[in-house]
Structure 1
Amino acid sequence: MEDQYIASVDVGTSLIRCHVLNYKGQTISSVCKKVNLLYPQAGYVEIDPEDLWHSVVSLIKTAISEANISYNKVSLGISTQRATFTIWRKDNGRPFHNFITWKDLRSDALVKQWEKSFILKSFRMGCYGIYLLTRNKRYLAGSKLKLANTQVTMRLLWALKNVRNVKHAVENGNAMFGTVDTWLIYKLTGGRKHVTDITNASATGFFDPFILNWSLVATHILHIPSNILPEIVSNDYSFGYTAKSIFGISVPIKCVISDQSASMFGSCCFEMGDTKITLGTGTFLDVNTGSSPLGCNNGLYPLVGWNINNKITYFIEGASNDTGSLIQWALSAGIIENPHDSGTLASAVENTDGVYFIPAFSGLGPPFMDDNAASGYIGLKATSTKHHMIRALLESIVYRITLLYNLMLKETNFKVQSIWVDGGVSNNDFVCQLLANILGIDVHRPSTTEMTILGVSFITGLKIGMWKNGTELKKLRSLNCTFKPSIDVAVYEECIKEFKVWLKAVERFKLWYT
């Protein structure tokens, strides 16, 4: 397999990347491009589907060209951002509207309306009643069902009602729904495939992880038309080949997977209890729960981690929507001049001097579940400096992770010994060390923070026989640094003290926009 290569594409929220890797798991070429996010009005965050498609194709061509290899030696793997979708015409493949991204808030009124509805309340009560009788965790999960803007569900209902010509197309069987993975596979195969991989499906909000299919709640209670939904397939499904017209040769597509699942796989979190935290545009804490989905409370939710060789691995996830986006805001606001210097500037002062930052540009997720919270600083005074403000912002990222971690401990019996971190913000030493100090566990940072690329490459490599098993993959994973918690008890006590004060500050910003 030494003459075979993997071209791995990662379509994120901020960047599109394409890496070409060899049989040693080494990147021999890499290119990236910013995603052109569109903001047509307040709360709307979109992506042009055709623009995204052309960008992906262009990056693949450039990466393979720079690797100086021929297309007949390449297998393609794809990972994508989740819960971002569009609807297009079945007859000609033209989108009815732009991608409505997971950060979009246009369906907020619908979310609130349905959350208060008698139908949803009755559904939850019914599920809880059945759970008491059967102790089936599926019904416990149903009793805790909560709609959110980050899910596809309500944004899809909004599109079905408000986008011109969609209703007519649905009635005439001329509409196709898809998340980013579905759209790319449809385009790459010349319209031959209308599928979604199981990990992207499980993150839509209307997939039932207990029956591994679209939820009856979505199709019967919410009236999402089943005829527009793609077929759900495994991550190593036979996706076929790209249309010859795209690259001049048909290239095999061997893997499609969501970004967080790819990141988990790239971190080699193969065992139950293995924990990974991605610090990208948002923060995602994922914990491997083995071969069974876990019915969760308090804002964590069960997802399919991956389905490979007909074996399904599940995890639970908690998310905070604002992480790297906070750094970008601080950069644009002139609070920092270079993101790479933020950790050094934060370490230049011993504490925040009573300054706290609340990171809620996209609301506050679990355990608060408050989409109407405000962002901002509190505690500023005459002695406050830019260093204090930067430190407060970085500390807020760690505090949000701490909340997710504590929720996870309540939901499981796992005793986590260490966690793996990845994503751009994981390059920040200050954040990683504070995380180790406050959680009291080792924080491992790999040599490459591109774990999503590595994960989709690993699965693709397994599929084509480049590697045999997880043991071989772990040998390819290299460690950059391990951040160990301070042995000074006073350091831990100070962390907890500041965390508790920050929680008090959060209360001042909750429900601000109601």
Structure 2
Amino acid sequence: MSQAQPAAALLAIDQGTTSSRAIVFDRGGAKLASASRELPQSFPQPGWVEHDALRIWTDTVECVREALQKSGLKADGIAALGITNQRETTLIWDRKSGKPIHPAIVWQDRRTADFCRRNGDRDEWIAKKTGLLIDPYFSATKIAWLLDKVSGAREAAQRGELAFGTIDSWLLWNLSGGQLHATDATNASRTALFDIRRQQWDDELLEFFRIPASLLPEVRDCADDYGSTVAELFGAPIKIRGVAGDQQAAVVGQACFEPGMIKSTYGTGCFMVLNTGRKFTHSKKRLLSTVAYRLKGETTYALEGAIFVAGAAVQWLRDAVQLIGSAGETEALARSIKDTQGVYLVPAFTGLGAPYWDPEARGAIFGLTRDSGIAHIVRAALESTCYQTRDLMLAMAGDACNPTELRVDGGMVVNDWLTQFLADILQIDVLRPQVVETTALGAAYLAGLGAGVYESLDEIAALWKADARFAPALESANADRLYDGWLDAVKRVRSDT
């Protein structure tokens, strides 16, 4: 009897801040094969972060080819391809040559902080249209910087010779052989140029940021027809049927389809997203209102809290200060001591995100004594991710509701110690799914929806399964005491206190 082939295999491209990956899933969401490449980051000036967009493209192609080879499938055995990506990272390229005019400006980059500070009085106006704040995080000020600083860029843009895109658009352009300039509603919603209630680019915002409309991609649904890859890339065309920014893809991968459901993803940064249904909720707690997903023209909204540094703090421990050799060492180090003895690490390396929004804040370690060692600093770095999550959870409670459980994913949550400490500090149950690579899984599910592999979100929700549930084991008074110490440490690094 011949071995049964997986029915309707799906391929996901997951292009993140520190790596590019391709994963092949079967219809049930099980991972069949994967490939990845680490992505170097460039820091040309303090607070600046850049990527080589051509490297992103070549790494992505290599990852797809390797994942297909490992899976034993050829391109014609893939039902559809989905793309998920680091959001807000900004790229402008020449439409004719296909070459970027400048390295991609990464979402963490703070070079436009002065502009944002000077125009802080526009916060409310921008928030009512986009759900966002005026902050260097989002794409709009990055686009304006490129047009102003790259020689001849503004004139070329006005002649219609240039194209802007977030990384999904860049990949779509190249996968299609330069035939498709498009994005999806979730990535568009992170530019600060897109009216998320009217679901269209906003002329007033374009005028304010001085950005020609000709630069912008067409906006489509998350599960939609994005054409096909050119045949020569992978041996045969592969239909592209799903696109979503990484955090929105994780919402789909975690099956957070009902209002009130909440997930938090722990990668380079940490991003908590609360499904608010068909209702646009304007945050009073400096969270972001955003698009969770748009399917068949119907928009589901969300509240989001963004932490700029989570896993990046572990990467800093490994690469910059060389306290560890690999991320895998952190769990044993955290367990090796009873507590941090009052050491707090505030990883504000690129400023503070929600709910503080302080681009001028900088990282610091507090509470060091002669007894402090590597284990205390490493554990403090892990704890900082949990404290920042509580910052977001309290803001969510002030805006919408008190969640009773949190679904988590991303590379950091394979660390059982961290996931338990997260439950302790939040004082709610934390659920880890069987597949923690939920950004890629969500992209695959969206592609499956677009290709007819799945008929509904209910069908996808039925595939979600928990790997572990972590219940609080720390008394609430102790959790509060530890969190108070965190708030004191944050106060010390803020630029506005």
Please indicate, yes or no, whether the TM-score normalized by the shorter chain is above 0.5: yes
The aligned counterpart of 2:391 is 403
2:94 and 2:64 map into 1 onto residues whose CA distance is 26
The aligned counterpart of 2:255 is 268
Partner-residue secondary structure (3-state), 1:92: coil
Check conservation: 1:199, 1:261, Cα contact below 8 A. yes
Q: Give 1:113 shift.
A: 2.4
TM-superposition CA deviations, 1:434-471 (whole Å, max 9, x none) = 22122221100112210011111112222223233333
Q: Give 1:142 shift.
A: 5.5
Check conservation: 2:19, 2:36, Cα contact below 8 A. yes
Equivalent residue runs for 1:43-442 within 5 Å:
43-74=47-78, 75-115=80-120, 120=122, 124=124, 141=128, 146-332=133-319, 333-412=321-400, 414-442=401-429
Check conservation: 2:305, 2:355, Cα contact below 8 A. no
Partner-residue secondary structure (3-state), 1:37: coil
> Which one-letter code corresponds to 1:49 in the other structure?
A
1:266 and 1:3 map into 2 onto residues whose CA distance is 19
Q: Give 1:93 shift.
A: 2.0
The aligned counterpart of 1:508 is 492
1:4 and 1:42 map into 2 onto residues whose CA distance is 47
TM-superposition CA deviations, 1:357-394 (whole Å, max 9, x none) = 11211111222221111212111112223322222222
> Which one-letter code corresponds to 1:347 in the other structure?
R
How much is the aligned-residue C-alpha RMSD, in angstroms?
2.1
Query: What TM-score do you get using the length of structure 2 for normalisation?
Result: 0.94
| Aligned mate of 1:13, from 12, 17, 24 | 17
Greater shift in the superposed pair: 215-224 or 13-22: 215-224
Q: Give 1:255 shift.
A: 0.8
Q: What percent identity do the matched residue pairs reach?
A: 32
The aligned counterpart of 2:476 is 492
TM-superposition CA deviations, 1:247-301 (whole Å, max 9, x none) = 2322211111111111110001010000000011001010000012211133211
2:318 and 2:55 map into 1 onto residues whose CA distance is 26
Equivalent residue runs for 1:468-479 within 5 Å:
468-479=455-466
TM-superposition CA deviations, 1:381-408 (whole Å, max 9, x none) = 1222332222222221111110111001
Partner-residue secondary structure (3-state), 1:271: coil
- Indicate yes or no: 2:35 matched with 1:31: yes
2:137 and 2:100 map into 1 onto residues whose CA distance is 21
Greater shift in the superposed pair: 286-295 or 97-106: 97-106
Partner-residue secondary structure (3-state), 2:188: helix
- Indicate yes or no: 2:447 matched with 1:460: yes
Residues 374 and 461 from structure 1, CA distance in 2 versus in 1: closer, same or farther, beyond 3 angstroms?
same
Check conservation: 2:131, 2:290, Cα contact below 8 A. no
Q: Give 1:145 shift.
A: 6.0
Report the number of matched residues.
Answer: 491
1:398 and 1:222 map into 2 onto residues whose CA distance is 36
Check conservation: 2:129, 2:196, Cα contact below 8 A. no
> Which one-letter code corresponds to 2:102 in the other structure?
H
Q: Which runs of 5+ in 2 are unaligned?
A: none
Check conservation: 2:431, 2:469, Cα contact below 8 A. yes
1:203 and 1:270 map into 2 onto residues whose CA distance is 20
Residues 51 and 393 from structure 1, CA distance in 2 versus in 1: closer, same or farther, beyond 3 angstroms?
closer
Partner-residue secondary structure (3-state), 1:476: coil
1:144 and 1:196 map into 2 onto residues whose CA distance is 18
Check conservation: 1:3, 1:73, Cα contact below 8 A. no
2:368 and 2:57 map into 1 onto residues whose CA distance is 46
Residues 339 and 50 from structure 1, CA distance in 2 versus in 1: closer, same or farther, beyond 3 angstroms?
closer
TM-superposition CA deviations, 1:168-208 (whole Å, max 9, x none) = 21122211111111111111111211111111000112221
Check conservation: 2:408, 2:431, Cα contact below 8 A. yes
Greater shift in the superposed pair: 242-251 or 352-361: 242-251
